[in-house]
Structure 1
Amino acid sequence: MKKFKKALALSLALAMGLSLCACGDKKEDDTTAATTEATTAATTAADSSETEPADPAGPPITVTDTATAIQVYSWNDELGSRLDSHFRTRYPELSDLVVYNNLDISGTGEEYPAKIQAAIDAGGDLVPSIVAADNDVALSFMQRDYIVPVTDLGITMDMYANAYDYTVEYATIDGQLKALTWQATPGVVAYRTDIAEEVLGTSDPAEVQAKIGDWDKFFETAEAMKAAGYYMTSGPDEIKYAMLDQRGSAWVVDGALNIDPAVNDYLEYSKKLYDNDYTKKAAMWSSEWTANMADDVFCFFGCTWFIPWSLNIEDTDAMGKYNVVTGPVSYHWGGSYLLVTDKCPNKELAGLVLYTMCCDTEAMYDIFAQDTDFCNNQAAVAQLIADGKGALDKLGGQNPLEMYDAAAKGLSLKNATSYDNIFNAYLDTASQAYNSGELATVDDAIVNIKEQVSAAYSDIVVE
């Protein structure tokens, strides 16, 4: 019923707006104002009897231009399928105006931003209006002059009020919100329930969380796992995302490289896992790493997309023998943001797309229910939990949504920079060399990081 009411309200508003346009040469501002007023009245009446899930913003963005198409760009088909399922079905009369361009390349390499820039420079009918950006490169996009604040699209903070704070924090540049996301990607710890029962005497999530609730307890449990013939993690880099989200300062401060204490901590903790044989020394994304998911490894640091799509245990004895907890710290891993360029010829339509995908509680409820994306909407998540949605067979029927929600609420990305993805890779190189003995001390590893930064960035002061 809610979908029908919104569609009816929008249809009435569009009809009124078009009739105004047909009356003669009225000024565009008068037409827009009149159409906005009509839409507000129609949708307010339609929404007056609605109950949960509710949107804090009330009516959606009004589209007065129903002739001008916009181009949406992304690196794969994920966003395209979400648009098909959750935007086009809600606004079929606008579907043909939203053209999807799948570049079918890596979203985190140099080629994707280069192709977007080339399309911006070329202009014309294919100029990008909406650009999808992976978490690893999104900040770099947001800082470009051609990305407009979402307020230019008619989106207010009230409309985005259900978003998790960390996603707002991450996408705010100089006080302006430059991007929205439909997905939140908080991290959790996925653990083997059978190994927990054997070694810890319990597999209950609350009791397991108490065993790994901080790093001291985590390493105490690692020692217990080792004594029982198991490994705590698959590789020493497993804790990377969790530890680096604890940085109290940015990689670059006032134009100079800054080594936060969390960097030293990661080097030391990774080395401790490596030297004490708490890990099988398998690198993330290696075939060994995947095989260890059904072997003798107790836990994996994962996230909202890792659990359904990368915890590959379906055809193994480990199927159904995992649960998740929040772990030692709150952290995130990945994500995708939507940005709009100043070349967009129909910003109202772009605004409606972003509103629907990233603000509309009902649409975001459906995004999780249909696509398993943990939605960046706390009201939708609360309703999903209340409705009993989210239980996974690979987790033995556990519903991870409450864990995801708690982890997302504990996150802060106030120290994120556009350098993070690259400098974290430099840290990986230094950590691997330190773990293997090629570098003798943490100080040597820090020097290695500084050398890598200095060689690549002449504009950053390295002391």
Structure 2
Amino acid sequence: MKKRLVSLLAMATMTASMFAACGTTDMGGEAATEEKEPATAEEIDAEAAAVDLGEDTGKVLNIYVWNEEFKSRVTDHYPNYEEVDATHGKIGDVDVVWQITENAGNAYQDNLDAALKGQADAADDDKVDIFLIEADYASKYCDTDYTMPLSDLGITSSDLADQYEYTQTIVKDGSGRVKASSWQAASAGLIYNRDIAKEVLGTEEPDEVQAAVADWSKYNETAKKVADAGYTMCSVMDTYRTYSNNVSGQWVQDGKVVVDDNIMNWVDDSMALVEDKAETTYALWGDDWAKGKYPEGKQFCYFGPAWFFNFCLDVDKEGTVANDGRWGFCEGPQSYYWGGTWICAATGTDNPNLVKDIILTMTTDQSVLKEIATADLDCVNSKTVLGELANSDEGNMDLLGGQNPYAQLAAGAEGIDLSNLSPYDQGCNEEFQNAMKNYFEGNATKEEALDLFKKAISEKYPTLTVE
């Protein structure tokens, strides 16, 4: 194992320039290391079973994150973790240092990239041990040798067998090896205002509301009823991921950027609803978009996963819909996912045993995952735990009026299809939404907005052509 670690670290040094060469926001797939022959699951498990990690020698465990979410999970749920202050802790005799850099302006990735490029020459106490990634840029890191395959830590497929398949597919490298693990299954759905549903649809029950939004045709019909009653459905930006997660092909095919028919369906459906004043054009996370959290915002729904409950609906603020327990949850028009956080082991860590234990404890230990689900309102990456919660009052949520959403969340996780995932997703999705906002707001025709998208993509990915 020590020889393999040295080899991987040497390869990481050789490929260090790839981060800089491919830009700061998206590596566009060009950062992938040399293609490896795909390995079978049996071969990978055999490798894992033969691993000898030796002893940990590191006195400091450096964890790179963009916010305090994972830190709070470790602080609250990892056995024997002792908090020292906001950025320091202890696990036994190892000092834990949280390297927290916010995501704004790509600062987190820039900081992480610099640290990984310097990993080979870093002093032992300065080495990156663990870092986190999101779905939108998972391939940027998993397709390089900066991340250790979990099998190199001795983690086998049986260790991960209770996880949802898509959470592993998204972090596999070209050889089929899983490079990260998540405690979350970020399947998502439609979060609706029960009071508006009762007024407009005559019911607030999840199954009956689901029938009214079961596909995009029914959703659009319901949106018009909602508008006629003096409300708005949501922002057009809320629905984008549901459409983009259900495309027929990848963004880039044979060197060409192709706008999928389902993406264009989003454009046409959204524009029709904007013209009917059934949807707004508010940017996600903005002040106008956030008004829907309050009854006076007169907004029927948001689209989001379980982390949306805890982080986005202001449940602790008096007067919000969440604080009054008046949201409901259903699957919505199509299965999709949004986000999720994965734990990576950095090649060159001098604490491989501790890193392995953190990954296994935080992403596979069912007792810990159940604690996270019930304490933090998270949808965890365990079929067993979600099944237990779906059939127990422990899964009931006050912000949802006592509703238990775990059966819907579990079904959504099973239905996620990542066959069309590509390294270009983040860049293409962002630029497409930015361009189309001009169309929705009357500042460009649809053709002009498409031209804006083509121009932005040509600048971001000069080697590609846009159809």
Q: TM-score, normalised by structure 2?
A: 0.80
Question: Larger deviation: 105-114 or 396-405?
Answer: 105-114
Change (3 A) 1:116 1:397: same
Q: What do residues 220-241 of structure 1 show as CA deviations (whole Å, max 9, x unaligned)? A: 11121122222222x2212011
Residue in 2 aligned with 1:158? 158
Structure 1 residue 330: Cα displacement: 0.8
For 1:78 and 1:201, how far apart are their aligned partners in 2?
38
C-alpha displacement of 1:416: 1.9
CA distance in 2, matches of 1:98, 1:251: 44
Is 1:62–1:348's contact at 8 Å kept on the other side of the alignment? no
Q: Which residue identity is paired with 1:343?
A: G
> Is residue 322 from structure 1 mapped to residue 327 from structure 2 by the alignment?
yes
Amino acid at match of 1:228: A
Alignment of 1:372-451 (within 5 A): 372-441=377-446, 443-451=447-455
Does the C-alpha gap of structure 1 residues 193 and 372 become closer, same or farther in structure 2, counting only changes over 3 Å?
closer
> Which residue in the other structure is 2:107 paired with?
111
- SS at the partner of 1:176? coil
Q: CA deviation at 1:97?
A: 5.6
> 1:73 and 2:78 equivalent?
no
| 2:76 is the counterpart of 1:85 | yes
RMSD: 2.6
Q: Which residue of 2 aligns with 1:8?
A: none
Structure 2 residue 191 is the aligned partner of structure 1 residue 190: yes
Cα deviation, 1:197-243, whole Å, max 9, x if unaligned, reads: 2211111111110110000000111121122222222x221201111
* Identity value in percent: 29
Q: Give yes or no for contact 1:107–1:133 (8 Å, CA) kept in 2.
A: no
Question: Matched residues in 2 for 1:97 and 1:413: separation?
Answer: 41
The equivalent of 1:54 in structure 2 is: none
Instruction: Return closer, same or farther for 1:146/1:283 CA change in 2, 3 Å cut-off.
Output: closer
SS of 1:113's equivalent in the other structure is: helix
Q: How many residues align?
A: 404
Question: 1:31-430 maps to which residues of 2 (within 5 A)?
Answer: 65=55, 67-69=57-59, 70-89=61-80, 95-96=91-92, 99-107=95-103, 109-120=105-116, 121=118, 122-125=121-124, 126-174=126-174, 175-233=176-234, 235-293=235-293, 294=295, 295-312=297-314, 314-316=317-319, 318=321, 319-430=324-435
**Alpha-carbon contact 1:170-1:414 (below 8 Å) kept:** no
Deviations 1:11-41 (A, max 9, x none): xxxxxxxxxxxxxxxx999xxxxxxxxxxxx
Contact in 1 for aligned 2:56/2:352 (Cα 8 Å): no
Deviation at 1:91, TM superposition (A): 11
How big is the shift at 1:145?
A: 2.2
- Residues 170 and 413 in structure 1, CA contact (< 8 A), matched pair in contact too: yes
Which letter does structure 2 place at the counterpart of 1:167? Answer: T
SS of residue matched to 1:172: coil
Offset of 1:90 from its aligned partner? 8.1
- For 1:390 and 1:98, how far apart are their aligned partners in 2? 36
- Which has the higher mean CA deviation after the structures are superposed, 265-274 or 104-113? 104-113
TM-aligned CA distance change 1:220 to 1:108, over 3 Å: same
In 1, the alpha carbon distance for the partners of 2:151 and 2:399 equals: 41
Q: Is the 8 A contact 1:63 1:349 kept in 2?
A: no
When residues 85 and 67 of structure 1 are mapped into structure 2, their CA distance, relative to the original with a 3 A threshold, is farther
User: Greater shift after overlay, 96-105 or 379-388?
Assistant: 96-105
Alpha-carbon distance between aligned partners in 2 of 1:124 and 1:254, rounded to the nearest angstrom: 43
Structure 2: where are the runs of 5+ without partners? 4-48, 84-89
Structure 1 unaligned regions, length at least 5: 1-26, 30-58
Question: What is the Cα deviation at residue 89 of structure 1?
Answer: 3.0
Task: Tell me the alpha carbon deviations over residues 71-130 of structure 1, each in whole angstroms, 9 at most, x when there is no partner.
Answer: 3221222222222233233899x9146544333322364322222232231422211121
